[in-house]
Amino acid sequence: MKLERREFMLGGAVSLLTACTATPPVPLAKPPVGLQLARLKFDPARLMRISVCARPFRPAGPRLELERIGEKNVIHNYGHGGSGWSLSWGCAEEATALARQTGASSFAVLGAGAIGMTTALALVDRGAKVTIYAEDFLPDSRSARATGVWSPSSRIAMEDAIDPNFVERWEGWSRRSYAVHQQMIGLSGDPVEYVPQYNVAGGEEPNVEESRPFLHVNRRLRGLTPSWGAVEGIANPFPGRFVRGGQTLVFNVSEYADRLMRLFLLKGGKMVKRSFSDRASALAVDEPVIVNCLGYGAKAIWGDETLVPVRGQINWLIPQPEARYALYFDQVQAISRRDGLIVQYLGANDDRGFGNADETPERAEAEKALAILRELYN
């Protein structure tokens, strides 16, 4: 994942009192050496669990298109790499428009991750009858194992595989999704919120050039999010280290997932637990239009051999409500979310985990990441 550089500003005013000539000057208190943050606790004893998921990467980017298969219309909406939560609402809007073109009023949505749930909600909001079919509902899906930050271009495509209009479509998905996420700020449970993030220079692992031409297009969104910059003087919580920082958008996935499911059911949606072994079993649902939101599962069910798994491991530590901020140091990301302190070893570039579908947790990787972050407080 590539981190953006935006400007973070912390301002304040200091007033100094001057002594009269008849009174000896009073020594000023020694100024603080840095912003005093509650320390994030990276003790392995606080590790709650380790989760791993295979993110669904397509070199050409997410697939959003209508396909006619026999008597069924199938709307494909999958292949978002590490950008599923970030792009969910914009892609849901486009998938819904394609589905409504069929003239049907009843739809089956396959998959109940972030993409499936938001697409189903978008359809319900337009008066459709919608049934979600999924082997795992959102709390147990791969989407629930996400880092949970605004990252609309994370492993989104390859530069040499996209269509000429892809970047423009991606920008539209990003801006529409961002607008919907903004509407959730301040809601009960804080499904979406901003937290300060500090990117700290240093560490031992060097950056490595990518061996694949991943698409990097965040520059298209300049000005959309709060700006970042150098964190200097007493605003720097890590004196002696160069720090850049700003506000980052965070998804508290547990609350967000619960909210999406409750809204869908309250609006008349239906959820059915069902697994699919092949394309024929998927096409056997009763609804005339199928919206395929199976993520990496689309490779086996729909035969998309372009899908590539990208392994990602999340290490979950006990939540720290007194320390709500994020860090990045030496290829490791930490986000103090309301549902846990999330720690992830990102590696030196977007190649990490590419082609690896193994979802077995690695304790050694977790302990390495925690050890690196503990160095910041030594």
Domain 44-377 classification at class level: alpha beta
Backbone φ and ψ for 109, nearest 5 degrees, come out as: -110, 120
Distance CA 33, CA 239 (A): 7
The first and second tokens of residue 6, run together, are 């935006």
Whether 351 contacts 308, CB under 8 Å: no
SS3 for 288? coil
| H helices present in 184-216, as ranges | none
pLDDT tens digit at each of 378 positions of the chain: 444 433 333 333 333 223 333 445 444 444 445 678 899 999 999 999 999 999 999 999 999 999 999 999 999 999 999 999 999 999 999 999 999 999 999 999 999 999 999 999 999 999 999 999 999 999 999 999 999 999 999 989 999 999 999 999 999 999 999 999 999 999 999 999 999 999 999 877 666 677 789 999 999 999 999 999 999 999 999 988 999 999 999 999 999 999 999 999 999 999 999 999 999 999 999 999 999 999 999 999 999 999 999 999 999 999 999 999 999 999 999 999 999 999 999 876 667 889 999 999 999 999 999 999 999 887
Amino acid present at 210: E
Cα 348 from Cα 353, distance rounded (Å): 11
Contacts of 373 (CB under 8 A, 6+ apart): 40, 42, 327, 329, 332, 334, 343
Residue 266 DSSP class: H
Q: Is there a contact between 324 and 40 (Cβ–Cβ < 8 Å)? A: no
Selection from 302, 312, 295 nearest residue 355 by Cα: 312
User: Helices 84-100 and 166-183 sit at what angle, rounded to 10 degrees?
Assistant: 110
**DSSP bridge partners of 77:** 64
344: left (phi over 0), alpha (psi -120 to 50) or beta: beta
Question: What pTM, to 2 d.p., does this model score?
Answer: 0.87
The structural domains of the chain, with segments of one domain joined by +, span 44-377
What is the H or E stretch that residue 347 is in?
none
Residue 41 backbone phi and psi in degrees, to 5: -100, 110
Rounded CA gap, 67 and 71, in Å?
11
> Residues 251, 339: contact at Cβ < 8 Å?
no
Kindly compute the dihedral angle of the four CA atoms of residues 176, 179, 180, 181, in this order, to the nearest 10 degrees: 120
CA distance 300 to 156: 20
User: For residue 122, what pLDDT is reported?
Assistant: 98
Contacts of 346 (CB under 8 A, 6+ apart): 1, 331, 332, 333, 352
Distance from C-alpha of 7 to C-alpha of 96, rounded to nearest angstrom: 36
CB-based contacts of 343: which residues, under 8 Å, 6+ apart?
42, 314, 315, 316, 317, 332, 333, 334, 366, 369, 370, 373
pLDDT at residue 348, as a whole number: 64
Amino acid at 182: Q
